[in-house]
Structure 1
Amino acid sequence: MSTETATPVATARSSAEATPPRAGGAPRRGRRTVQQRNRPLWLLLPGGILMLLVIVVPFVFALVISTLDLDMYTLRDWVSAPFIGLGNYIEALTSSSLLQSIWISVSFAVIAAVVTLPIGVAAALATQNAFRGRALVRSLFLVPYVLPGFVVGTFWHTMLQPHGIVDTVLGNLGIHTGLWLNGPLSYWTLVMVQIWSSWPFFYLLVLAGLQSIENEVHEAAAIDGAGWWAKLRYVILPALRGPIALALIISLLHNINGFTLPFVLFGVPAPQAVNVLPVLTYVTSFQSFRFGLSAAMAVFSLILIAIPLFVYLRAVRLDTGDDRKEKTA
């Protein structure tokens, strides 16, 4: 047969023989161009520029300031402020109330998150099934969460004033308390107000997790004769592990970084029992005018919130099996 009359089958066979096979017997595909290989990087460019401007540049700027003896006297020409290296970090750890503020912030955040969790789960379970007026109840549950922090702080500051509404109601019931906004009760006042304003966040995430559970799972549990406690323990809570973990980590980060609520609720200077880290950083910067020292405190705050975030991301990575995929690759 001549080359002019070669069949398509013969042509395809000859081209397949000319192409060296890949490992595993699969034919080698054509190499991608440089533009095709770099296309995902171009898609990430807008987000990367935004992260650079919003996160990286301010962080580097804060690191530079934290190594300078920058105060109200050297602020005008801050570039030529004296360089003191780790002096601000050492002073923050040894001569300021940074460690106490870190303890207050962490303990307050953990207590508020742990107490808020069962409240949000109970509220989500109570409003999962349809009943008359469910939409109204769900809307009312969201009121504490949608209110701005300034409004929440002002509202409770007014309610908890000496001889205010709370003291009057409790006094009529025969309960006499001390000062809510000063003294030993101020710490628990902050915890109580934070719980009141943040439990709807747990409610929202848990309710969304409940909506993702298939009806067949509930029907199978009912057929097996599972009671409400067994159903909650072995069916519902395992399915809500992801939303609950996400709600806990976000709540912890939000509580540790919370500034508006303690600032409005207690004012400045705040009682020592509620001198959380954001308020301490604010006072050091804008009242004491120790900008270098406050920048060092801000770096400590960033490290503090990075720890639970890293733990959560690591747990999610292990849960999705990414490590196993990398080891087998």
Structure 2
Amino acid sequence: MSTGTAKRRRGPNERNRPLWMLIPGGLLMVLVIIVPLLLGVYMSTLNLDQYTLRKWISAPFIGIENFIEALTATDLLRSVWLSLSYSLLAMAVTIPLGVLAAVATQNKFRGRGLVRSIFLIPYVLPSFVVATVWRTMFQPGGVIDHALSGIGLHPGLWLNGPNSYWTLIIVQIWASWPFVYMLALSGLQAVDHEVHEAAALDGALWWRKLRYVVFPYLKGPLSLAFLVGILHHINNFTLPYVLFGLPAPSDVNVLPILTYVTSFQSFRFGLSAAMALVSLVLVAIPLFVYLRAVKLDDGDQPAKRRKSPKRADRFTTDSPSGAVATEEVLV
């Protein structure tokens, strides 16, 4: 019996079996992501409030009026600016801090495991626990005020007024820098030891090693850390909500807080749905830019067609003098 007939032929059911395995995940994605998104888009076109909520399907259709009101008659643009600015300032500090911590704990030393475990404490704590502890520390007459008054500084209130903006940034930095530290540490582990040895043999100084040897390996992990950090900060509701309470100071009225207040205190559900869609677009922009700029998978890129090496063909011709000449032609 030949090999071809010995093998059992794969029918159409077996060929499509990998697609069957995608059905549970696809259904879950539709129920958890697609359906709520479509409902949010539909709600944003309705005049949906506490009076029309009981029969929200028959609520008055107003088109894009919720979006116009959100952009012109609310603090949406200011909340977007606050969310973006505090996210960028927090990442501007957490990225260098995480890289320095990763470089400091890369080489072996006594107690390195303990130090690495301590560095991860802010990351493993729940957000509401972090916000509660820092809220207690920033209270008037708390630990922060006592520490600053010992060196002659009296900054005033931390949980209200202009200082609340910097309070949010400080707490966000403390809670999120271990994430950058872990990604930077994973990038450092990918550096080849032969590259370090070659740099040492060439007599390169430590800062040149960091710039030309270490940092090129951190480009991918730090780009991912920057994107994930920005998206997390923009969508972070728990930290400002627990840290400042409601009503939040105007300087920390970030986008999630504004959307929550509009929905569950003002009961403008259609308007809050429009705000949520604006935040979705705001989050999708850096994600799209990252996916376009960073090649996540080499297999997704079309392979470049390689040119076959030129082949030299020989043929003989008769010269005018009667001698046989051999020529090579590249094809």
Shift of 1:316: 2.1
Residues 1:59 and 2:37 are matched in the alignment: yes
Residues 1:236 and 2:223 are matched in the alignment: no
The one of 260, 266, 277 equivalent to 2:255 is 277
**In terms of mean alpha carbon deviation, does 120-129 or 46-55 score higher?**
46-55
The one of 151, 164, 167 equivalent to 1:173 is 151
Task: Tell me what 1:73 maps to.
Answer: 51
Task: Tell me what 1:38 maps to.
Answer: 16
Q: Normalised by the size of structure 2, how large is the TM-score?
A: 0.86
Task: Tell me what 2:244 maps to.
Answer: 266
Q: Distance in 2 between matches of 1:230 and 1:321?
A: 33
Consecutive unaligned residues of structure 1, counting only runs of 5 or more, are 1-7, 12-30
Greater fraction helix:
1
Shift of 1:67: 0.7
Shift of 1:299: 0.5
Q: Distance in 2 between matches of 1:68 and 1:275?
A: 25
Shift of 1:43: 2.8
Q: Distance in 1 between matches of 2:90 and 2:136?
A: 22
- Matched letter for residue 154 of structure 1: T
Q: Distance in 2 between matches of 1:207 and 1:177?
A: 36
In the TM superposition, what are the counterparts of 1:97-112 in structure 2 within 5 Å?
97-112=75-90
Spell out, residue by residue over 1:165-185, the C-alpha distance to the aligned partner (whole angstroms, 9 max, x if none). Answer: 111111121111121111111
Q: Secondary structure at the match of 1:191?
A: helix
Q: Distance in 1 between matches of 2:303 and 2:166?
A: 46
Shift of 1:239: 0.8
Consecutive unaligned residues of structure 2, counting only runs of 5 or more, are 3-8, 307-331
- Matched letter for residue 217 of structure 1: V
Task: Tell me what 2:164 maps to.
Answer: 186
**In terms of mean alpha carbon deviation, does 36-45 or 293-302 score higher?**
36-45
Residues 1:246 and 2:212 are matched in the alignment: no
The one of 148, 168, 177 equivalent to 1:199 is 177
Q: Distance in 2 between matches of 1:316 and 1:44?
A: 26
Spell out, residue by residue over 1:20-79, the C-alpha distance to the aligned partner (whole angstroms, 9 max, x if none). Answer: xxxxxxxxxxx9854355344223222211111111011001111111111111111111
Q: Secondary structure at the match of 1:240?
A: helix
In the TM superposition, what are the counterparts of 1:1-329 in structure 2 within 5 Å?
34-35=12-13, 37-317=15-295, 320=298, 322-325=300-303
Q: Distance in 1 between matches of 2:304 and 2:66?
A: 42
Percent identity of equivalent pairs: 65
Spell out, residue by residue over 1:151-195, the C-alpha distance to the aligned partner (whole angstroms, 9 max, x if none). Answer: 111111111111211111111211111211111111111111100
Task: Tell me what 1:24 maps to.
Answer: none
- Matched letter for residue 197 of structure 2: E
Cα 1:326–1:80 change in 2 (3 A) is farther
Greater fraction strand:
2
- Matched letter for residue 249 of structure 2: P
Shift of 1:322: 4.3
- Matched letter for residue 214 of structure 1: D
CA RMSD of aligned residues (A): 2.2
Shift of 1:216: 1.5
